[in-house]
Structure 1
Amino acid sequence: MSRSLRRGALAATALVFSLAPLTACGAGNNAQTLGVKPDNAATSVDKISLQNITVVTQPKADAEGPAVVTGTVFNSDTSAQTLDSVKLPGTNATVKLAPAKGSGPITVPALGSVQLGGTGNASAMIENGREAAKNGDAQKVVFSFSKTGEVALRAFVFPSDTYFKGVGPSSAPSASASGGTPSGSSSPGAGAGAAGQDAPGTPSGSASNSASADAETDAGTGTSH
């Protein structure tokens, strides 16, 4: 083989080896693209996994009211565990836990999961939510389980809007709803039509009956007005 052919063969071999790592990045069971993680709060400790953990605040930044911790808790153990507490270190927040039905602790079933937040699901409500977390922050949240112990991660804080509208806290009550007119003493005439009462300006029942009686008397006597 001539010297020029040997140089060409060596160059081609070097090119193949240089391309091999690049093609390995995008294919196969060990592809590097499979290592890309979603941009949400998730972690695992022992048999407990937490996914999509988020702190959801009131829809408006200046609104008073509670916030909530949402996400999914998975238990790969063959026995159930209870979620004993959720804490937000560095704050004075109190998180109140409630199961989906009834009262007592939140139980994560064996080989099952529990959804936090949303209609019909378990809840983790931060009572003084506005003081506990600010929108856009990554708030540290610590879950405590009966067997696994503490599982900590940082959760993003978002307002109860768009994607989080269905799992976030309800809007704080307005001033008119909480401090309005006492029940039973609403302003006169309010809702009169809906209640079947005479609307303002309509003759009452006694007045209309009196007018009918006068008309019958006039007709019997022949008196005209």
Structure 2
Amino acid sequence: MSRSLRRGALAATALVFPLATLAACGAGNNAQTDEVKPDTAATSVGDIKVQNITVVTQPDSGAAGPAAVTGKVFNNSSTAQTIESIKLPGTSAVVRLKPAKGAGPLTVPALGAVQLGGKGNASAMISSGLPSTKNGNAEQVVFTLSKTGDIGVRALVVPARSYFDQVAPTAPAAPSAPASPSGSASGSPSGSPSGSPSGSSSSPATGGTAGTGITG
């Protein structure tokens, strides 16, 4: 092969490589990630963005137990906001919000974010009102924030399997059995009489009248 032909082949190879790279980039910035994680809902209103919102049910179809709203809420403003409620319009679902630590309102810090679902994170639990037949549907989920107001998004309803096992809803702790009263009776009641009653009269003194003190 002549030197000029070799140069042409090298140039063609150099051109093909960046084209293949660009084709891979055209699949999206997270093309490799998308092969593992399914597409999830995201939207933004003003300084608030909600991302990766899903409704996760029990892993077994038809199984009783709670569901959960999962995802992440970003606050790009310099003022903290509170997530006042999360609702699923058209259902009777009641979503109970709980911060990652302690009690009180669920706050999205200024220039920060709150993760819903997963170990050690805040939670948005649905104790009832969401039929398991909703699996596979896109459910309307509305976040209400203290300053931004309502943010609605269509979230996929999925069972807690595969990737979503990491954010599976957990059943509330079963109430412990009530302890038996500490004052229950054991044996005979205290204070019961033993022997002859105190203060009863004794036998009269020999040769005298009982209670008179007079001797013969």
TM-score, reference length from structure 1 = 0.60
Distance 2:160 2:108 in 1: 25
Q: Is the 8 A contact 1:81 1:109 kept in 2?
A: yes
The 3-state SS of whatever aligns with 1:166 is: helix
Is the CA contact 1:59–1:171 (under 8 Å) kept in the aligned structure 2?
no
1:154 pairs with 2:154: yes
C-alpha separation in 2, matches of 1:81 and 1:152: 17
More helix by percentage? 1
Tell me the distance in 2 between the aligned counterparts of 1:162 and 1:32.
27
Residues 7-51 of structure 1, C-alpha deviations (whole Å, 9 max, x = no match): xxxxxxxxxxxxxxxx9xx69xxx976699972100010000011
Structure 1: segments with no counterpart, 5+ residues = 1-22, 184-225
Q: Secondary structure at the match of 1:155?
A: strand
- Tell me if structure 1 keeps the 8 A contact 2:92–2:129: no
Cα offset, 1:87, TM superposition: 0.1
How has the CA–CA distance of structure 1 residues 155 and 103 changed in structure 2, closer, same or farther, with 3 Å as cutoff? same
Q: Deviations over 1:106-150 (max 9, x none)?
A: 100000000000111100001115437611000000000000000
Instruction: Note closer, same or farther for the CA distance 1:172–1:47 as it changes in structure 2 (3 Å cut).
Output: closer
Contact kept in structure 2, 1:133 and 1:157, CA below 8 Å? no
Q: Distance in 2 between matches of 1:36 and 1:134?
A: 28
What RMSD in Å do the two structures reach over aligned CA positions?
2.8
Q: Which residue of 1 aligns with 2:131?
A: 131
1:61-100 alignment runs, 5 A limit: 61-100=61-100
1:46 — aligned with what? 46
For the residue of structure 1 that corresponds to 2:131, the secondary structure is helix
The answer to whether residue 102 in structure 2 is matched with residue 102 in structure 1 is: yes
- Name the counterpart of 2:120: 120
Gaps (5+ residues) in structure 2? Answer: 1-18, 179-216
| CA distances 1:141-175 after superposition (whole Å, capped 9, x unpaired) | 000000000000000011111111121113699xx
Task: For 1:36 and 1:121, locate their aligned partners in 2 and report how far apart those are by CA, in whole Å.
Answer: 24
Contact residue 92 and residue 130 of structure 2 kept, 8 A: no
**Alignment correspondent of 1:170:** 170
Give the structure 2 partner of residue 11 of structure 1: none
Cα distance in 1 for partners of 2:135, 2:157 equals 5
Query: Letter of the aligned partner of 1:79 in structure 2?
Result: T
Pairwise CA distance, 1:61: 1.3
> Normalising to structure 2: TM-score of the pair?
0.62
Instruction: Assess if the C-alpha contact under 8 Å between 1:93 and 1:132 holds in 2.
Output: no
Instruction: Specify the SS of the correspondent of 1:165.
Output: helix
Moved more, 63-72 or 35-44: 35-44
In the TM superposition, structure 1's runs of 4+ consecutive aligned residues that sit over 2 Å from their partners are 31-39, 129-133, 170-173
Against the structure 1 CA distance between its residues 132 and 80, is the aligned structure 2 distance closer, same or farther, given a 3 Å change threshold? farther
CA distance in 1, matches of 2:135, 2:63: 12
When the two structures are aligned, how many residues end up with a matched partner?
151
Structure with greater Cα Rg: 2
Letter in 2 for 1:82: T
